[in-house]
Every structure is written in C-alpha cells, then in structure tokens.
Structure 1
Amino acid sequence: MRLGHLGAAMGPLLALTLVGCLGTRREPPPARASTAPLTREAAPSDDGPRVLVPPGLRLDGRVRPTRQAVTLELDPRKQGFRGTADLELSLSESTPELWLHGEELSVESATLVVNGRRVPVAALPMGAVLAFIPEEPVGPGTATLHVEYTGRALAQEDSGIFREQEDGRWYAMTQFEALYARRAFPCFDEPSYKLPWQLTLRVRAEDGAFSNSPVQAEERGADGWKTVRFQPTPPLPSYLVAFAVGPFEVVDAGTAGRNAVPVRMLVPHGRGAEAAWAARITPPLLERLEAWFGTPYPFAKLDVVALPGVQGGAMEHPGLITFGTQGMLGPVEGDSVWRQRYFAETQAHELAHQWFGNLVTMAWWDDLWLNESFADWLAIKVVTQWQPGWRWDVRRVEARGHAMEEDQLVSARSIRQPIQSTGDIHGAFDGITYGKGAAVLAMFESWVGPDAFQLGVQRYLRTHARGTATTADFFQALSATVDRDVGPAFSTFLDQPGVPLVSMALTCPKDGPPRLALEQRRYLPLGSPGGAHSKRPWHVPLCVRYVAGGTEGRACTVLTEPTGTLVLDGAKGCPDAVHPNADGRGYYHALLLGDGLERLARGGGRGLTVPERRVLMDDARALVSSGDLNVAQALTLTTRLLRPEDPDLVEGAVAVVGGVRDEFVPTSHLPHRARFVRGLFGPLARRLGFEQRPGESEDERMLRPLLVWMVANVGEDPALRAEARRLTLRWLEDRSVLSQDAAYAVLGTAAASGDAALHQRLREALRTTPSGRERDLLFNALGTFKDPALSRASLDLLLAPEVDAREALPILFGQLAEPPTRAGAFAFLREHFESMLQRLPRDSAAWLLATGGYFCDAGQRQQVADFLGPHALRIDGGARALAQSLERVDLCIAQREALRPGLERFLGGY
C-alpha cells in the first residue's frame, strides 16, 4: 500500500511549503477509536452462565479457517448491504465458542456443521469480534460455519466497504488493510490466516462488478439484478480481498508478462481517455519486475481501478490494484509530469507487492516492512532501470532524507516494532516502515552485492510462495545465499530507532596509508530529549570515495563498535578529498571532521555523482539542526555543490534553503534572505518563468513549481508575483493556459499576496468547478492567503455543506504551514474539532493530532498539549502521534535560538 499523504495530494507547491515547517514527511496514518486490551480466557461463573471474555489483539489459534466463500448483495446507491459467509474451519481441540472478527455487522442467523452433524449456534457481537456459541463444545475436527448478516457501506469514507458519487453516478469499493475486512464479512482478519476465497456479488444489471480473480459465471435475473461469481483466489489474507461495483469504464491495456496476463484500467464513467498513461506504462513495469524476480506475475489477471471521489494512495490487492483518481488519471493535454512519474513509481510499488506481500505474506504486522520496505526499494530500482533518463536514483536519496527527518525523533518507531495494540498496527504505516526500510535495504544490497542480494530474495520467495514468512525467514534465505549471517547487522537497523551519525577524521601518517578514524553515535537534533547514544552500536556498512594524486579510489568497512578505523589501502598519497557516503547508499549522517568538508567544497564537488551531492546537501541540513555545522557553512556548501544546469541539484538546494524556517530568521533580516534567494536562484527562475515553453525538458517542467515559487515568495520577486496574478486571472477564464504543474505555483503565488477580489474570484470558480483536479488547485490556493479575514473565510469552507471536507484539508494545513496564519488556523481547529471529526473519514483523527507539530513557540506548545492531549487519549495511537507533534515543536524552539545568530551573520552580507 502506498499512503495518500498531503504532500502528494496537494502537489509540489505545498510539499515545498511543508519542508520549511515539519520537514518533508508523510501525514500520520489513520487511527481508530481506542478499546481497552482484553484477555483471551473465558471465565466460568459460580452464580450463572459462563462469562464470555473476548480475545485480545489476536484470535484463538485453536480454530483456523481453511476456505471462505462470501456472497454480497450490494447497490452502491444504498448504504445497507446483505451478505452470507461460509467458512470451512479446522478445530484442533474442543472449544465452547468460536471467535471471529466482525465489526458493525448485524448477524441475522448462523448455523454450524461439525463433522457432518448440524449444531445449533447463537451469535453475539462484542466490539470488533463476534462470538458464535454452539449449544455444546465442538471439536476437534472440521466444521462449516454459515452466517447471514447485514452491514453498512458508508459514503465519503475510505475503509471497509464505502461508497462515492461522481457526476451523479454511485460506486462502491473496498479498502480492508489493515483491520477493515471485518466491516464487510465475519472473518479471521489477521495476516497469518491465508486461505482461498470465493466471492459472489449480486448487483444491479447496469453496474459492473470486479474482484481479485476472473469471473467464473454471470447470471442475469428478470428483476434487474445480476449475480457475478468469481473464480476462487489463491490463498490470501483477508486484507487483500477486494472488489469494486459501479458504472466503471473498462480500458483494455493488452496483455503483459510471460503468461500474457490481461491488463485493464477500470475508471469512472466517461474518463477512459485519462487512463492513457496508466495503460501505457503498466505492462512494461510488470515485465521488468518479472525479469528481476525470475518468475511470472503470480495471478490470473491485472485490473487497475481508479477509485472515484476524494481518495488518495494506492493498494496492492492481487488482480485488482486500486488508486485514487488524482494519482492515476491525467488530462489528455497538459498533464502533470510530477503526477505521471509519481504514478509510475507507485505502480511499480504496487506491482512489486504482487510478489512481496501477496505471493509471500507477512505472518504478523510486526513484519510489515517485508511488504512495504521491499516494495518502495524495488520500485525505485525498477523505475531507474526502465527510464534511466529520469535519474530516479536521486529519488532514492530524497526518500532516504525524508525518512531521516522522521527517524531523528526520539519518539520514532523501529522498523520492526513490537505490535501490542491496534494503534501499533496503524502506526506501522509510516515513513519509518516505508522510507527508512527501503533505504536500509539499499544499503545492505550494496554491502552484499546486487546480484547476491537478488538471488537471496528469489530464494526467499521460492521457499515461501503462497504462504507466510517472517524476518527470520528472510535472513535465513539471504544468509544461505551470500554465505554469511546477515541477521545481526540487519537487526541493528530493524529493531532500534534512530539514525547513526558517523564522524570521520582523515589522517595521513608518514609510515603508512591514509586512514579514517570513525566514531558512531545516534544523531540527535538540538532540543532533543534523548541521550547521546543508541542502546547498542549499529553495524553500519559504509563506503567512501576519495581522490588521491589524481586517482579515484573506494574503501569499505562495517563499523560494528562505537569507534573504528578505515584504512585507505589503495590511496597513493594523502587524499585531496573524501566523500563519506559513496553513491549515497549508506543510511547514516556523516560528519567530516577537520577540513574534510572544506576539501570537498573547495573543488565544487568535482567528480561527485548527483546522488552523492544530494547526500552532502541532506547531511549539511541535518548537521545544522544538530549544531555540528553552522548555517553559513551549510549554505556555502550548498551553493558550491549546486549546478544551475542540473534540475536535481537545484531541487536539492531549494530544499536546503527552504528548510530554514521563517521563525529562524529575524524580521529585520527577511529582506536579506530574499536577496540571497533571488541571487542564488533568480536568474534560472526568471528564465523558466511560470509558463511552459516549446522544447522544454520534462525536468524543467518538474523544477518550475518548486523553483519559481521559491523565488517569487521567499525571494519576494515583484515581477514574478505580478506575473502570477496576471496568469491566475487568465487561468480563471481559460484553464488551458497553464499546465497542471505550473498552475500550482501560479495560483499559490498569487494567493499568498492576494486581496479580497482575488479571493472572491477563486471562491466563485470553486462553485462552478466539478473537476477534482482543478478543485485541488483552488483549495491549495485558498489555503495560502495571508490576510486574517480572507484566511478565516477559506477555513470556513471546511464546514460548508457543499464541500467535501477531505478535499478542503489543504486549506487547514496550508495555513498551519505559514507563521502569519498558523495561530488562526489552530484556533479554528479548536473551535470546530468535533465537527471536523464528523466530516472526515472516521479513521482520520490522527491527521488532526499532527496539526500541533507546526508551532515553534513554548506558549503555543502548551496550548497544543492542553487541547489535543484529551483527544489523543481516545484515539488509537493518539498518544504517540501527539508526542511526535510536541517533540517537533521542542526541536524547532531549540534550533531557532541556536541558529538565529549564525543566520544574522550570514544573511547580513546580502
């Protein structure tokens, strides 16, 4: 699953804005209402009937399903649905009751057949589980449970079975990961229960019905309904079962792979042309992955569904991958390059899951990284191979940096976190599991060698195909392939949080080769409440590149202790410069002591690859935050590593400069910062302008919304600001004058200094704009107005009956991102918190807990703690989400005080 986070949903403009406030990070995963932990034992009572005590986090393993069939009668126009579930069970011993997951379901009847004998059974709902109680204990042996029930498919939701309306047409679809299959049918809703499923859907004749497997039979009745029976699936856990019902348009994308698997795009009615990019790139990505895995795509078909409405992210269901329409569909003319490439990477991620997570499934949620980390890591690898001109390996470095932003917190999780509550399960879908996990995989792949690593992965998948596996299983397969035990080193990164900070000091003795003295400790930014050391040293695979006597060399080691030495045996003399992270594959921040950094900067990074330059930029930004590097050094290094002709390096420099929060810059020095930004980026920004020009490269089109927005807003460029207003007014009359990428920067820049007249024009446009894509642009722009009255008018849209609060969330987060509007936005949230909870999907509460993390003031921090603290107690995983928000505030306060003097000195020269 690829999470739908605000940075992606709102486009590159707001993603850049968020860099200056929280770092580039994913929004927290959805959270659920909390329930108290319960024990598994049933307690007898001397005074009456036996007291039922529901199981705790996991069901009783004495009863296991071996097969399940589900029949649903579903009309997307209606909230209610009917269902039957038939489960074949294996009972290892006698049991007085059967526990299944079932939430928000009303059981009408249940019957149990045990060893061929019918046994009367009663059903009792108890929270998220159902107790099926036979009149006498049953087992051991086999049993079949038949349940008839009803449930609800809610509108404007994003979990369980939910419904969306688009252009007057209704659709129903599913999202069962992590714990939502239980809202659709009684089941064993845990990943370890992997079994064949057969789904039958009774739907209206005019609606299409799609699921994981091909259609086995379809019958039409005289009543205007049809019954669609799907072929049995291979063994799957409940969270991977999926279906979609409604007037979807089917776009044939041909066949792909060794088995000529049929590929189709399923899109909302009338939007087939918008699926052209998705249909074009899906088959070649599938074939690249088959080649890497050495085995065919493991399922019978591949449908890719664009979910209507305000849905984000994507989900890897076998045979029925789902996407939000904004990510999957693009206009025939003027499509966003950002969107196209984001879809390609996300599609590669979901396709990689067909092997990692579908063919082989984690045994329990603590090994979620075996799904998500691998899919993220392999997606970047495959896209890089498929389109080398995109230089997607730079995205790997960016993702590493984003993960480190999250991993710097003392409240950060481990990749492989013990799961003790449902909040822990939901909390595992974060940047640590995805980004950090992928970066750690890239590092260890480099350590053992790409070919050996690939063979180890293939061995792991062959051994556990169609079953479940654990981290130990993966270690065993990889270790057997490379002929060394990788588990201890890997585990130091999987089982403890934090980023290693590796200090390197170069010495060149007269009587031996040059060497680097190494020292590791946990990286902690200023203001961190943590200690200076990790619980145990990491086993850090590290490689350096150096230039000595005009000759390049490379040296590698694994640093297993707090200190160590790396001898540069191949160096012919003392190196002119040492890059501390060759190819940017190490998951650590590097601190070059002495004149090591100056040596690199002196040559302008000559001979360094783009990923290596970007790693230095990321490290410089981090070392400023920890107090190990002053701001002037970091900004000077960035300017020396920058190549104006290289969009990836310009983007990296924009991230470093944009990472200096407004609160860090004294008001008197804001004009100085503006002159610095204009001097560094202005010539290129003015050459690019806001409008696309014939013959432009895709890289320039991707760079425009970040760079030109930076110069127009942070650089306060008056010409670009005037141009943005002029183009916004033109765009309001004719949407074809700007590409989608350019429109984000244009509308956001115009609105940032906009007046009431412009605000009114944007509001009027919103009322007459049905397109989700253009509405997205308008909501983003309405979130950037600085005038207090206009900001409040924008926020009121979150409560407007005609507005879906999900699509208006960019207004709230856009205003929280900027100091002038932050307090007002949080005051609005405090005033309307309960209303917001009612208008957003029921599992979205943790998003609102993240709002406190934008502040940088002790008084406001206390307001956040006082207001959100009680709410966090009733939200599953809320305590951790709030702790992370408050920790971010503490870091910002400490860094503001520490960095201001250095910023004053540096910016004073401009």
Structure 2
Amino acid sequence: MGKGFYISKPLGLVLFGLGVGSVLTIFALSVVYAQEKRKNEVDAIDGSRMVTTEAPHSTSAPSNEPWDKYRLPDTLLPEYYNLTLWPRLVPDEQGMYVFTGTSGVAFKCVKKTNLIIIHSHQLNFTLTSEMHHAKLTGLGGTSAPAVLKTWLRTQTQFMVIQLKENLQVGKSYWLYMEFRGELSDDLGGFYRSQYTENGVQKVVATTQMQPTSARNAFPCFDEPSMKAVFHLTLLHPPGTVALANGMDLGTENIIIDNQEVLRTRFEPTEKMSTYLLAFVVSEFTKIRSPHEANVLIRIWGRREAIESGQGNYALNVTLPILKYLENYYNTTYPLSKSDQIALPDFAAGAMENWGLVTYRELSLFYDPKVSSNEDKEWVVTVISHELAHMWFGNLVTMRWWNDLWLNEGFASYVSYLAADYAEPTWNIKDLMVLQQVQRAFAVDALVSSHPLSSNEDEVVTPDQIDQLFDTITYSKGAAVLRMLSEFLTESVFAKGLHNYLHQYAYSNTVYTDLWEKLQEVVDADSSIQLPASINDIMNRWILQMGFPVVTIDTQTGSISQQYFRIHPEAEVNKPSAYNYEWLVPITWMKSGSNMGQHWLLAKTNLYEPMKTDTDWILANLNVTGYYRVNYDSQNWERLLTQLTSDHKVIPVLNRGQIIDDAFNLARAEIINITLALRTTKYLSKEMEYIPWESAIRNLQYFFLMFERTEVFGPLQTYLQRKVQPLFEHFKAITSNWTQKPPRHMDQYNQINAISMACKTGVKECLELTRMWYRQWMTNPDSNPIPPNLKATVYCNAIAAGGVEEWDFGWQMFKNTTIATEADKLIYGLSCSKEPWLLNRYLEYTIDPNMIRKQDVTYAIVYIAGNVIGQPLVWDFVRGNWERITKDFDDGSFFFGRLIQGITKKFSTEFELQQLQRFKEEIAASSFSFGTQAIEQAIEQTKANSKWISENKAQVMNWLTKQSA
C-alpha cells in the first residue's frame, strides 16, 4: 500500500473448517435470498430467517447508549477476519443482483464489557442460533458468554450483541455471521459495474470501501485504527477471475447443487484498515511485468482495452514509480505484487487499496492514437498518487479521519516527485503551483473554509467524514507539505519520513507524530536553522483555516501579514488559537540577482534588505510558500515595467504568481482592479504556459461575471489582441497545425492558444475547428483532430453548429470504448447554443443507459458552464434533485461538486434568493449532507454581486481605453 503471516496449528484448523463450511452456508443463503422480494423483507424458509431489526426503544432523541454514538467503543480490538463472499453476476427472479457471505472475526477484549458493537449497514443476516444474528465462541480455551439479544441500529450503522455476562479482559473471541446484501450500482461498498463487449453485457463485482463502506460489504470494525489481517475467499462463476489485496493461493472448481462454481483463496493481507480492503470478480484480462521483476505488476481491464494496448503506458511507468518511492522513503515496497485495475464505473479517480488499486478507466488507460498529453499526465500522476499511499496511508495510517489531510495531501505532493522521475522531460513539478497551490488558495480564501486538521469529536458521522474529501484536504495539504519540505530541504524531509514509516509501520498515528520524527532529524543537523520547532511552525498552518497575504513596503522595509479573505466583508465565525497569525518562510530576490530568505515571525517587522528606491523586489520565489504577496505601489510599478521590458528576467513560476496574486488581491479589495488588469498587458510577448494559464483562470472570472453584460465585447476585443501572437506562434512552430509541439508545457499552451483565440472570436481559429470537425463527420472512422486539441475543437465546433453536429458527437460518444475520448465528448456536447439540445442532454444525465453515473456530475457542470445552459441546469437540478442524488453513495462529495459548478455564475439578488430558498428546502428534506457546499455558494454569490457593482464601471473604462 507480505512478508508472511504466522498462524498456530489449532487456529489454522479453525480457519480451514470455517472456509470449507462457508461454501454450503453461502449456497443455503442464496436459496433463501432468491425467494425474497426485496432486501428488507422477512421470510421463513427451511427454518432459516433473514432479518433486519432496529434497536429496542430507539428514538430520534439524543442517547448516551454506546450504540447511539457514531464511534466504536474502545473495548474490543479486531485481530483477523475470515471472509467468504459470493457475488451473483446475473439478476435473480426479482431482477436484483445479490451477494451472500460468511464472516468470522477474531477480536480481543481490552476493557470490561458485555456488549459487542460492530459496524453493519444495508446487510441482512441469517439467524445462526435461536433468534440471534451471530455465534460467539472463545479462542485459546476461553469460554464465551451466551448471547442475550442482538439488534441493528440503522442510524449509527451498528450491529449490537448484548451478552449475559462480561467478556474477559485480555482474552480473544470468535464472532461468526452469515449475511447477504444487494450488489447494487451505487458505486460504494461491494457494488456492480457493467459494460458491453462484442454486443454482450458484462457485469463486474467490485468494491469501494473508503471511507465508511466496508460495513456495506460485511460486518466489521470499520474504523481506520481497527487494523487487522484479512483472510479472503471468493466464490465466482466459471470464466471469471477473482482478485483481492493478496496474491491468490489457487482456484478450484467445486459443485454446489449441480452448479459449477470457482473458489479462489487469497494469501492473508498485511495488518491494515478496513477501508483498504478490495476484491473484484470480472472477465477482465491483464498484462504483467517481466518475470524477473522483484514485484509482480499487473494491469487489468476490459479485454478490448488491454489487447489494444491501453494499459501499456501504466505498466511501463509503474515499476519506475515504485522504485523511486522505495528510494524516496528508503523503505522497501511492503507487498509481493501490485495489481492495478481499470473499472468502467468508479466514483473517484482511483483508490489506493493495498495491493489492488482501483481506477477509473481514464485514470489508468492511455491510447497514444486517441488520448491527449493531458490524459497521459493524468495517468502518471494518479498512479504516482495511489502508489505513494502504499507507504504513507497504508503502511502507516491516520488514527482517525480528522487527519485525512496527512494521507491525501502527502500523496498529492509526492505524486509530482514520482511523476517527474517517470517523465523527467516534462518539468511536471512546476505544475504543482497551478494544480495544487492556486487551487487551494481559491477555496481557502473563503470564510467557509476549514482547518486541515480538527478535533476527532468534530468528525464522527459518515457524512462529516465524506465532506473532508475536498480541495483543502488534497491541495492545501500538498501545498503546506511542499512548503515544509522546501524550508527543511528535501533530504531532511525524506529522512524524517523514513524514520516515521519505520517506527509506525502497520500502526496508526496523528500528525504530530510526523512532526516529532522530522524534528529529530532537524535537531541532529546543525545546518538547518529554524526560528521555532516544527510543531510550532506547522500547527499554525494545520490548525487554523486560511493563509496570509504578506505585504512588503520597499519604502520602509516593513513586512506585514494579514489573514487573506477573498470577500473581506464576510464574517469569520471560526475563532483561531493563533489569531490568524503564521510563521512565514519568505524567500525573495532583488532585480533578478540578489536572493535571500527571511522568517516573518509576527504580524509585522522591519527587514532592512527589503528597503529600496530603485530595485524591484519579488517575494515567494517559485511560489514555495503558501501565501500571497502584495507590495507598495512603487514596487508594483517596477515589476510591471520589468514584465513589459524583459519578462524573462522574472522566473516563469513567479510571472504566473504576479498575475494570480494581483487578480486575487483586487478581488479582496486590497489593490485596484486596473492594477490587476495591467499585469496582462505584456502577455502578447509571453509564450510560456504557466503565466498564460494563470491569466486565463483569473480572466475566466471576468467571463463568468460579464458574459451577460455590455462589458463582454470590449473584454473579447482586448484579449483577442493579446492571444493573437500566441495563436500565430503555435501555428508557426507546428507547421500550420500539422505537428505537435515538442515540449510538454508547449502542448498545454497550444490548447490555450486555440481555446482563447476561438473564445475571443479569432476568425481563423473558428474556421480551423469547424474544418477539423467537419472532416471527422465526413469520415467517422478517421478522426483528423490532434488528440491534445480534441476537447476545445469539439466544444467550438458543436457551439458553432446545430443538431447535425450535436447528434454526430453524441453518436461518437456512444460508440467509443476509450474513456478519455468519452470524457472529451461529454464536455464538447455541453457547448451547444441550442437550448432544446441542452435540455435533451440534461434528460440523458438521469438515464444510466445514456450516461454512466460516474459521469453525471461532470456532464451537468459542463452544461452549467455554458451561458445558455446555466439557467436550464439550475431549473433542472432543483426539479429533479431527488432523482439525481438518490443513487449516489458519496452524497456530500457529489453534492459539493454539483452545487459549486452550477452556481459559480450567480451574481444577482434573485439568484441569491433562489439559492437561499434551495438551502431551506434541502434542510427540510431527508438529505443530511450539503450544507457546507450551499453556504459556500451563498457566500460566493454575495461576493460576486458586490464585486460587479464595485468594478464593472472601472473594468469597462479601462478596456475601452485599451482599444482607443
């Protein structure tokens, strides 16, 4: 994310007996289940009852009973599980897909109790004894107390077993259960994915346990600190292959009631958390690493995709990435194999299951004939992210979800280092500024943001846990760890990581454990001089939300900091123990030569080297610090003069930073909006990707706010003049668009050149995109559009066309078997200017036969990005809210992406009232998630309205002067 697992002879016999016995038990369960109408009905068949019960005297009133709390009591610790599951890949007589199973868990009693509380959700159980769900026995000669009663508590997702006597402290017990569940298509727990191959529908049984869905697949102690070893057996149809975290120990044919079934057993896992468990039954095929490789690497997927070579790139980069990470951590990869599997239906981008990483197809597959450079980069960075987890997250795991940021932020940071090693010519580490730092700034500047780490008791329900999987956790986590690594140096940081992993292997930690191991390395290295302990420095970045803007006054040498809020009038109702004051590592350069470093340790101080009357000063070199920078007006003028005269003197990352900081400082009312606009005047000379991308992202806000106003025309005219030289530059270096730019960053900037040229009305661009698309329509079997440019060409050509162009795009979407191509067409189809076509497209999003559930959010948000589609989407989503959301297990994550995408253009009082009314409707409904997303949308809408009223006239006047 083994070395082996020792089992005493008596225990081995117990596990073997349970494994063999489970086959007959599961068959009996299947007979029972086939005759049930729905999963919650109760039937009595052959003396066996499937039951679901609720806790006695349960009410909605608060309770101090342990089963009414969302956290497990600290009385029991699991040691190992023996799990057998049998998924049915064909529907039963009622049209349901089901799975049945048996589970045994060995646990130790560590505190006196007469209760066994274990997670279970959406499972029904066979009564294993008279009116009881489970059978309890003692291990090692221990006698088990009798079961008094059992029940399920659906609100807290627990099975509760009350015993007649207390368990003995220090003794181990065995809890055995038989159960079944639905193999639904909700993309969570143990679920099904479907695809068509050679005209035949195929079904895959697969898993997504993170964060709290292992309990949907089998009863378990479903918390990250409840690590255990898992012994797994899967029963599956002939012609299928079974995969799991561990290597298979062999597959045998068995007969159950004249039905042939395959039984595959797997080697026991390492000691790990339940959310990392994974298993898949499919008809997939594979490619594998050479036999002489130390680690078995296999890429699995649909036969057509594997045989056409779509998995080759993933196979080629996985071993170098693993080798890099082994060297970086100075720790050997803990497992004997690394399976990676691409699933047709998968909610997230990928999941770091230890030894069996699951992916969306577009996150693992790459076809050089069809996929773009961005697709290729996505594959290598996602693989790097997931493999980074094999050590950081899997080998050593956070104790509770409140420290999820440490897992995900670290993997996000290290993914760029590993991807850079795998693709050294791409300069991919620079993209971290665009993809992580600036992305985090945008969310963390809102007062509805949250700290990276919170108290454990603030994150207890599944919905609260789900909401942590956000930009702050991933991108801000990556940004602050990158900053820490920079001021410590990468070698010191890596050494501390090694010590951390070595000490806490196969156990759980809190983030301060990492600070402690890093501090030990710092204390032993006299060359590292810090103004305070790592704990004191970093806790200010971890325990309070937001970040500072550092203001440098070159007239006085003063350096000051203040909490940066993009909407300064918004009220901050989250107090901070540090009073929103940070210890800030400031790196700087003076007029392109002299460089230095300084720690800002208070709200303000004087620093003589910052005082100058002639030189310009640039702070936060290469944007290694997590803060924005403002200057006195004289220094801003000197920087703008330098950009105009010779912009290359300023490092490319800082050219992007100057633009991004200026626009955001203007939105926060710290500098004038015209100063921000002036940072774009030099762009007609700029040919590098990062400054252009920073400018386009910030100007996108202007498009969002002014697209429906009279400012839009002058804005288009101004930007057309800026982008025309870039368009001509790429036309020249690609020999009139017939070749691909050689550099990775240039390939990205070519997309910007065409996209912005078409967006601002460059006639040659519009003709070029229509010509390419029309050629494709003439010969659908030969797409002439360069892979890197497909998304922007599809969008512009469909926007310029009508029903014929849209229908052709839809047919190509339905025909393609390549996930990256489908993704680009999903976007392109959203660009139509015909309302009726967009409405038809919206109707398709709630039909899983038209658009896969995993793609619904993207399609809706893409349509909302269309000025014509946005009001259609808002009406559609409110009118179909229940239907849209009911099948999604990751409710909070889904809701947040949807609301943010739909409401980003909101800026009027009417839209604000609609949004507030929608919040009230959601609050009054049965939905228990989404309040944070709606609050952020309300905050953003208020700010948008205020920004337009204060800046519209200024922007209009400035743009008019530029065209004079």
Q: TM-score, normalised by structure 2?
A: 0.84
Higher relative contact order, chain-length normalized (CA < 8 Å, sep 6+): 1
Residue by residue, what CA displacement relative to the aligned partner does 1:160-209 show, whole Å, maximum 9, x if unpaired?
43333342211111110000000011000000111111111111121111
Q: Which residue of 2 aligns with 1:32?
A: none
Deviation at 1:523, TM superposition (A): 3.2
Partner AA of 1:69 in structure 2: N
Counterparts of 2:544 and 2:887, CA distance in 1? 37
Partner residue of 2:907 out of 856, 869, 874: 856
Q: Indicate the residue corresponding to 2:761 in structure 1.
A: 716
Relative to structure 1, is the Cα distance of residues 295 and 810 closer, same or farther in structure 2, using a 3 angstrom cutoff? closer
- Change beyond 3 A, Cα 1:639–1:394: farther
> Does residue 1:210 correspond to 2:258, yes or no?
no
1:900 aligns with 2:946: no
RMSD across aligned C-alpha pairs, in angstroms? 2.7
Alignment of 1:510-659 (within 5 A): 515-526=557-568, 528-530=570-572, 536-547=579-590, 552-568=593-609, 576-604=615-643, 605-640=647-682, 644-659=686-701
Match of 1:778 in 2: 825
CA distance in 1, matches of 2:167, 2:573: 55
How far, CA to CA, are the matches of 2:821 and 2:561 in structure 1? 52
Q: Distance in 2 between matches of 1:682 and 1:57?
A: 58
Give the match for residue 869 of structure 2.
821
What's 1:64 paired with?
77
Find the counterpart in structure 2 of residue 436 from structure 1. 476
Matched, 1:306 2:327: no
- Greater shift, 811-820 or 402-411, is seen at 811-820
Instruction: Structure 2: state its 5+ residue gaps.
Output: 2-54, 92-96, 129-133, 524-531
Residue 209 of structure 1: SS of its match in structure 2? strand
**1:454-492 CA-partner distances (Å, limit 9, x unpaired):** 211211111111111111211111112112621011011
Deviation at 1:152, TM superposition (A): 1.5
1:172 equivalent to 2:172? Answer no
Alignment of 1:482-521 (within 5 A): 482-483=522-523, 485-507=533-555, 515-521=557-563
Distance 1:711 1:872 in 2: 44
> Do residues 317 (structure 1) and 353 (structure 2) align?
yes
Instruction: Pick the aligned partner of 2:504 from 434, 444, 464.
Output: 464
Give the Cα separation in 2 of the matches to 1:498 and 1:421: 25
- Matched residue SS, 1:414: coil
Alignment partners' CA distance in 2, 1:581 and 1:526: 23
Shift of 1:902: 2.1
CA distance in 2, matches of 1:883, 1:396: 28
Query: Partner residue of 1:82?
Result: 100
| CA deviation map 1:547-602 (0-9, x unaligned) | 36xx8222222223211223329x9x766111111221111111111311221221
Cα distance change on mapping 1:831 and 1:63 into 2, 3 Å:
same
Deviations 1:608-650 (A, max 9, x none): 2222222222211211211222333223223437753323333
Q: 1:368 to 1:695 in 2, by over 3 A?
A: closer
Shift of 1:661: 3.0
Q: Look up the match of 1:10.
A: none
Matches within 5 A, 1:310-349: 311-349=347-385
- Three-state SS of the structure 2 residue aligned to 1:321 is strand
- Is residue 556–residue 566 contact of structure 1 (8 Å, CA) maintained in 2? no
- Distance, in Å, in 1 between the alignment partners of 2:889 and 2:905 is 23
From 74, 95, 120, the equivalent of 1:102 is: 120
Residue 425 (structure 1) aligned with residue 465 (structure 2): yes
Answering whether residue 167 of structure 2 is matched by residue 134 of structure 1, we say no
Label 1:607 to 1:872 Cα distance change in 2 as closer, same or farther (>3 A).
Answer: farther
How far is the alpha carbon of 1:692 from its aligned partner? Answer: 5.0
Structure 1: segments with no counterpart, 5+ residues = 2-41, 509-514
How is 1:117-156 mapped onto 2 (pairs within 5 angstroms)?
117=143, 119-121=145-147, 122-127=149-154, 128-140=157-169, 141-155=171-185
- Give distance in 2, aligned partners of 1:596 and 1:188: 59
Matched, 1:113 2:137: yes
1:403 aligns with 2:440: yes
Q: Is contact 2:546–2:563 with CA below 8 Å preserved after alignment?
A: no
Shift of 1:426: 0.9
User: Within 2, Cα distance between the matches of 1:181 and 1:666?
Assistant: 48
SS, match of residue 70 in structure 1: strand
Match of 1:201 among 199, 213, 234: 234
Residue deviations 1:293-314 (CA, integer Å, cap 9, x gap): 1111111210111112364401
Moved more, 626-635 or 435-444: 626-635
- TM-score in terms of structure 1 length: 0.89
Quote the residue 1:730 is aligned against. 775
Give how far 1:335 is off. Answer: 2.2
Higher mean Cα deviation, 275-284 or 680-689?
A: 680-689
Q: For 1:553 and 1:774, how far apart are their aligned partners in 2?
A: 48
Query: CA 1:682–1:494 in 2, change beyond 3 Å: closer, same or farther?
Result: same
Larger displacement relative to structure 2 (837-846 or 294-303): 837-846
Question: What SS does structure 1 have at the residue aligned with 2:204?
Answer: strand
Distance of 1:292 and 1:764 partners within structure 2: 47
Task: Tell me which of 432, 437, 451 is aligned to 2:491.
Answer: 451
* Deviations, residues 306-358 of structure 1 (Å, cap 9, x unaligned): 11236440111111111100221122513211011111111111111111101
Judged with a 3 Å threshold, the aligned counterparts in structure 2 of structure 1 residues 425 and 255 are, in CA distance, closer, same or farther, namely farther
Structure 1 pair 831/876, CA: closer, same or farther in 2 (3 Å)? Answer: closer
Please tell me whether residue 762 in structure 1 is matched to residue 794 in structure 2. no
Contact 1:526–1:895 at 8 Å: present in 2 too? Answer: no
Cα distance in 1 for residues equivalent to 2:120 and 2:296: 34
Which amino acid is 2:442 matched to? E
Q: Secondary structure at the match of 1:84?
A: strand
1:290 is aligned to 326
CA contact (8 A) 1:312 1:327 kept: no
In the alignment, is the contact (CA less than 8 A) between 1:80 and 1:152 conserved in 2?
A: yes
CA distance in 1, matches of 2:580, 2:390: 35
Structure 2 partner of 1:161: 191
The aligned amino acid for 2:241 is: G
Residues 1:189 and 2:189 are matched in the alignment: no
Change (3 A) 1:671 1:431: same
Q: Report if the CA contact (8 A) 1:426-1:877 is conserved.
A: no
Cα separation, partners in 2 of 1:852 and 1:649, compared to 1, 3 Å: closer
Q: 1:516 to 1:131 in 2, by over 3 A?
A: same
C-alpha displacement of 1:159:
4.1
Q: 1:402 Cα shift?
A: 0.5
8 Å Cα contact 2:548/2:561 also seen in 1: no
What's 1:279 paired with? 315
* 2-structure distance, mates of 1:861, 1:493: 32
1:8-19 matched pairs, under 5 angstroms: none
Which shifted more, 468-477 or 801-810?
801-810
SS in 1 for 2:103: strand
